[in-house]
A and B are shown apart, each in its own frame.
Chain A
Amino acid sequence: EAQVTQNPRYLITVTGKKLTVTCSQNMNHEYMSWYRQDPGLGLRQIYYSMNVEVTDKGDVPEGYKVSRKEKRNFPLILESPSPNQTSLYFCASSSGSHSGANVLTFGAGSRLTVL
């Protein structure tokens, strides 16, 4: 089944404790992206990747890092989480690196709480 898999689905952590949210897709998509979703603000892009070893900032990159060492994986790293990073996170992928985002397939979401 074609899908985007992200883990963990739920996480409660404390301020400053580094964490990684993994994202993997099995559709051989070039384009991958991370979004956060907050009430009243909609989906906001954190980082995106057009292909392996090619990443760029989205609209809200502060406090996050990403890497794209393999085509299928695009982990999101919070080096020192803070309470304002409490949010619902979605990883998404699509075909078409040359044109950027096409129809996105989203992962199921990761709900992160930072105390």
Chain B
Amino acid sequence: GQNIDQPTEMTATEGAIVQINCTYQTSGFNGLFWYQQHAGEAPTFLSYNVLDGLEEKGRFSSFLSRSKGYSYLLLKELQMKDSASYLCAVRAFYGGATNKLIFGTGTLLAVQP
């Protein structure tokens, strides 16, 4: 089966660093995505990892360890506008020519002054 776990909620302080973890169990792993979703809005793409290691994009970085089934999203220099849900999504190869994207339930991050 497929399973993705991430914390339900987190709180952090403006200007600080926060790490949001995601663990997964899946067969046919073929990449991991992070999306940001503000309340009442559509998810927007943040990052993508398919190989082990760290991908950095400005204040956001994402890490992947395929052997451990583990990823994290690191947000630096937190701003109030970073208050949002962060969705971990795993792409898995289902045979033939099809990849399937499975979303976790999301981590609601609250940034406090």
- Which residues of chain A have a CB within 8 Å of any CB of chain B? 33, 35, 40-45, 50, 56, 90, 98-101, 103-109
B105 near A40: Cβ-Cβ < 8 Å = yes
- Contact among A33, A42, A107 for B42, CB-based, below 8 A: A107
- Contact among A41, A100, A106 for B44, CB-based, below 8 A: A106
B98 near A50: Cβ-Cβ < 8 Å = yes
Q: Quick check: is B48 within 8 A (CB to CB) of the other chain?
A: yes
Q: What distance in Å separates the Cβ of B32 from its nearest Cβ neighbour in chain A?
A: 12
Q: Which residues of A contact B45 (CB under 8 A)?
A: 103-105
A100 near B42: Cβ-Cβ < 8 Å = no
Task: Select from chain A the residue with minimum beta-carbon distance to B44.
Answer: A106
- Contact among A41, A42, A100, A105 for B98, CB-based, below 8 A: A100
B43 near A45: Cβ-Cβ < 8 Å = no
* B:99-113 near A, CB below 8 Å: 99-101, 103-106
* B:55-113 near A, CB below 8 Å: 87, 89, 91, 97-101, 103-106
A100 near B105: Cβ-Cβ < 8 Å = no
* B:9-51 near A, CB below 8 Å: 33, 35, 40-45, 48
* A112 and B99 alpha carbons, distance in the complex (Å): 28
Q: What distance in Å separates the Cβ of A109 from its nearest Cβ neighbour in chain B?
A: 6
Which DSSP category, helix, strand, loop or mixed, fits chain B's interface?
strand
Task: Select from chain B the residue with minimum beta-carbon distance to A105.
Answer: B45
A104 near B101: Cβ-Cβ < 8 Å = yes
* A34 and B103 alpha carbons, distance in the complex (Å): 13
Given A42-B104, A100-B91, are A106 and B99 also a contact pair (CB < 8 Å)?
no
* A90 and B87 alpha carbons, distance in the complex (Å): 14
* A4 and B7 alpha carbons, distance in the complex (Å): 30
Task: Select from chain B the residue with minimum beta-carbon distance to A59.
Answer: B102
* A8 and B98 alpha carbons, distance in the complex (Å): 30
A108 near B41: Cβ-Cβ < 8 Å = yes
- Contact among B87, B97, B106 for A99, CB-based, below 8 A: B97
Given A99-B97, A103-B48, are A42 and B103 also a contact pair (CB < 8 Å)?
yes
Given A90-B43, A106-B42, are A43 and B87 also a contact pair (CB < 8 Å)?
yes
